[in-house]
Amino acid sequence: MSQYVGLHVEIDKMKKLLERTAKEYMYNFRHPQVVEISQQLDRLIVKVMRHDS
């Protein structure tokens, strides 16, 4: 599996984790757990964007 495909798989996993975590904390998007996962997801997305450019 290429790094590019691996990043997309990781992004999909992280998106699902973010959805579950946000729901767990009643969609409080300021909760530290939600923020941390969101930031991790952002970093993965930036990696893909840099790869595409």
**Which pLDDT score is estimated for 53?**
77
Helix (DSSP H) and strand (DSSP E) numbers for the chain: 2, 0
Q: pLDDT truncated to tens, each residue of the chain (53 aa)?
A: 688 889 999 999 999 999 999 999 999 999 999 999 999 999 999 999 998 87
Predicted pLDDT at 1? 64
- pTM, rounded to two decimals: 0.90
Residue type, 17: L
Domain range summary for the chain, segments of one domain joined by +: 3-52
pLDDT at 51: 84
The amino acid at 38:
S
**What are the backbone dihedrals phi and psi of residue 25, each rounded to the nearest 5 degrees, phi first?**
-100, 30
